Structure 1
Amino acid sequence: MDIDAYVMANARSWERLEQLVRQRRRSGAEADELVDRYQQVATHLSVVRTSAPDGELVAYLSALLGRARIAMLSSRVPSWRGVASFLTDRFPAALYQLRWWWLGCLLANVIVTGVMMAWLVHHPEVEQALIGPAEVDQLVNSDFESYYSENAASAFATRVWINNTWVSALCIALGILGLPVVWLLFNNVANLAVVGSIMIQHDRGALFWGLIIPHGLLELTCVFVAGGVGLRLFWSWIEPGGLSRSAALASAGRTAATVALGLGLLLLLSGIVEAFVTPSPLPTWARIAIGVLAEVAFLAYVFVLGRAAAARGATGDLGADLLEDRVATQA
């Protein structure tokens, strides 16, 4: 291939991409053109690499594509279309495709919590080794209930959201190591089992469940989703399938980042419920109904919207146009 002729034939496209990259603000048409030009120049780069590997030209086009990719990401972040696509395609599709991991995690933790709570209830002597009589009395008659109303609702919602988001982020971030995720989840459910067993032993079970269920269904589901996604991240380099370990881990990591971002939004919702619904004067049945409704809405989001998004080809990973500069071509 005559490299000089190829440069002359495509220089206008490269110059136009340069102009679009330098622009700080772009119209919708210009943003679409940026994507089109990016794909076009990526094809040019592939042709040059394959047919006439000129070092300077390859370096120039690679740098141009790198700047264009950053420009596309920066322009897509505030886009309402991008937000809508995330909420209706990427996030629900990721949840649906990873459903067996987080459903398995959820089921295992529910079983462990139930077994631990039942065992503690039938072995009241363990309570005495864990916490003194004065602390038990304060927890049962005051602290557990007042925890949800002793602070301003907005401040409490923010604190709960930050704490739960941090726990979920740790489950995902430490997922590559495997065991730390199991330890985090065990600590979480062990605390729930201990407090629940103490409340039940002292005839405060109705109060315990009436305060836990409204926000706890969605909140704990989010934590178990994070745990399942973290374990999937661990498994991606243990059993990469048909990919290399680095490629499998990269793909799982990008999908995990999608889930982490979406869980932040869901945990904000559960934090609002915990701060404004759980301690509210509504009847217990009404507060529980709100919690059940939130959980059902989440499951419908996954198994209706997520299933449809997965059927359309959404995966939770980034789009192919943002992953590589190389485009397969035939010389």
Structure 2
Amino acid sequence: MDVDRYIAAHRATWNRLDELVGMARVTPGRLSLTETEELLRLYQLTSAHLSHVRTHHRDRALIGGLSSRVAAARQVIYGRRGRAQRVVVSFFTVGFPLAVTRAWRAIAFSALLFFGSALATGLWFNNSPQALDVTVSPEQQELIAGHEFEDYYSSQGAGVFAAQVQTNNIQVSLLALAGGATAGVLTAAVLVINGFSIGVVGALMHQNGAAGTFWGLILPHGLLEISAIVVAGAVGLKLGWAVIAPGEDRSRGDAVVEEARHGVTIVVGLALWFVVAGFIEALVTPSGLPTAIRIGIGALALAAAIAHVLAFGPAALAASRAGAGTDPWEVEKADLARAGSPPVRHPQPAAGP
């Protein structure tokens, strides 16, 4: 087959590819799912044509034209993937740390509710064994301190246990967020009740001579896990405060929507904290490693989470204030919305005809 016949046979394919690339360039993100799939198919087909021409015809003009078409289509396809990747990076370097930094006052209050409840409960029951006996029977205390508390962490396979812990913790964070709709009352209750539970168990273990077991098992995963719960609680408290006192410059509805948006950003980021804490709880907490090493792993995980927020949060907050209130994370998401289209995979050129 000579070059002219080859061109005539495939001209319609190349012209359609040019048309789709032009549409994508003029109105990014406006291609339908069907058109996007067609763009990918024609890109693969034209790549195969280019490979065939280079091997069998070696016509410089045709090779140059097909190379330009393939390059233009690749720029459109890979450019979209690049925008999506930038938004993911922006979430972890701007969106999440910025939202957490903005919520520092609420985080401090959330920590006060949780740790204040845990400390007060622990001190009360530790200094009043009679009250502890009323809450948890002496027989049950012996079982918990003797083996049940420790057995809990190795009662199931690591994978199943990690999944259950992660799911439960994420549900707690979502409950804390939803609790904001009750003016923060439910969120505060979740924090106080969880703190109370920690305090009771801590006092129980101390009273029964198992303090080392308690701290050796609770700290490796608890450092990050409890911190995540506290931050999640702050989300609900901020949302609740928006319901109570939206401010003079915004309506109650606008305040709730804004805080809910920031809250969702935080909860999505906290999911990673909960996943890491879940794996530590399943793999490190019940392991045979020395207690100091297990606690050290938990401390490193918490330090990494804090360092991540401190490394990006204050700078993002300063940039937001310098931009007269413009949120760089919201700008990034808006850019994606304008440029977005259904995500596409990296295509591989098909084999030659």
TM-score, normalising length: structure 2: 0.70
SS in 2 for 1:79: helix
Aligned-partner Cα distance in 2 for 1:236–1:19: 35
- How big is the shift at 1:108? 3.4
Does 2:330 align with 1:318?
yes
Contact kept? 2:141, 2:208, Cα under 8 Å: no
From 213, 216, 236, the equivalent of 2:222 is 216
Q: 1:257: which partner in 2?
A: 264
Aligned-partner Cα distance in 1 for 2:82–2:28: 21
Q: 2:185: which partner in 1?
A: 179
Contact kept? 1:258, 1:316, Cα under 8 Å: no
The correspondence of residues 287-298 of structure 1 with structure 2, limited to 5 A, is 287-298=294-305
- How big is the shift at 1:322? 3.6
Q: Return the letter of the residue paired with 1:184.
A: V
Aligned-partner Cα distance in 2 for 1:152–1:302: 33
- How big is the shift at 1:30? 4.1
SS in 2 for 1:240: coil
When residues 14 and 132 of structure 1 are mapped into structure 2, their CA distance, relative to the original with a 3 A threshold, is: closer
Q: 1:236: which partner in 2?
A: 242
Q: Return the letter of the residue paired with 1:319.
A: V
Contact kept? 2:25, 2:76, Cα under 8 Å: no
Does 2:49 align with 1:21?
no
Aligned-partner Cα distance in 2 for 1:247–1:110: 32
When residues 97 and 125 of structure 1 are mapped into structure 2, their CA distance, relative to the original with a 3 A threshold, is: same
The Cα offsets for residues 187-236 of structure 1, whole Å up to 9 and x where unpaired, read as 11111111110000011001101100111011011111111111101112
Aligned-partner Cα distance in 1 for 2:188–2:242: 17
When residues 132 and 99 of structure 1 are mapped into structure 2, their CA distance, relative to the original with a 3 A threshold, is: same
Q: Return the letter of the residue paired with 2:318.
A: A
Aligned-partner Cα distance in 2 for 1:117–1:234: 28
Contact kept? 1:258, 1:317, Cα under 8 Å: no
Contact kept? 1:157, 1:271, Cα under 8 Å: yes
User: Identity across aligned pairs (percent)?
Assistant: 33
Q: 1:127: which partner in 2?
A: 132
Does 2:321 align with 1:309?
no
Contact kept? 1:91, 1:316, Cα under 8 Å: no
When residues 308 and 133 of structure 1 are mapped into structure 2, their CA distance, relative to the original with a 3 A threshold, is: same
| Stretches of 4+ aligned residues off by more than 6 angstroms | 12-15, 75-78
Q: Return the letter of the residue paired with 1:21.
A: L
Aligned-partner Cα distance in 2 for 1:285–1:321: 43
Contact kept? 1:140, 1:198, Cα under 8 Å: yes
Larger radius of gyration, structure 1 or 2?
A: 2
SS in 1 for 2:271: helix
When residues 209 and 77 of structure 1 are mapped into structure 2, their CA distance, relative to the original with a 3 A threshold, is: farther
Aligned-partner Cα distance in 1 for 2:189–2:82: 35
The Cα offsets for residues 2-48 of structure 1, whole Å up to 9 and x where unpaired, read as xxxxxxxxxx9999539833243587854899xxxxxxxxxxxxxxx
- How big is the shift at 1:80? 2.2
- How big is the shift at 1:141? 0.7
Does 2:110 align with 1:98?
no
- How big is the shift at 1:168? 0.7
The two structures, once aligned, show a CA RMSD in angstroms of 2.8
Does 2:155 align with 1:150?
yes
Q: 1:170: which partner in 2?
A: 175
When residues 118 and 19 of structure 1 are mapped into structure 2, their CA distance, relative to the original with a 3 A threshold, is: closer
119-128 vs 18-27, greater mean Cα deviation: 18-27
Aligned-partner Cα distance in 2 for 1:227–1:19: 37
Q: Which runs of 5+ in 2 are unaligned?
A: 1-21, 40-72, 321-325, 338-353
- How big is the shift at 1:185? 1.2
Q: 1:52: which partner in 2?
A: none
Q: Return the letter of the residue paired with 1:292.
A: A
When residues 14 and 92 of structure 1 are mapped into structure 2, their CA distance, relative to the original with a 3 A threshold, is: closer
Aligned-partner Cα distance in 1 for 2:240–2:171: 19
Aligned-partner Cα distance in 2 for 1:76–1:235: 39
- How big is the shift at 1:132? 2.2
When residues 205 and 282 of structure 1 are mapped into structure 2, their CA distance, relative to the original with a 3 A threshold, is: same
The Cα offsets for residues 29-86 of structure 1, whole Å up to 9 and x where unpaired, read as 54899xxxxxxxxxxxxxxxxxxxxxxxxxxxxxxxxxxxxxxxxx789932221111
Does 2:94 align with 1:84?
no
Q: Return the letter of the residue paired with 1:267.
A: F
**Equivalent residues, number:** 272
Aligned-partner Cα distance in 1 for 2:246–2:81: 31
SS in 2 for 1:21: coil
285-294 vs 309-318, greater mean Cα deviation: 309-318
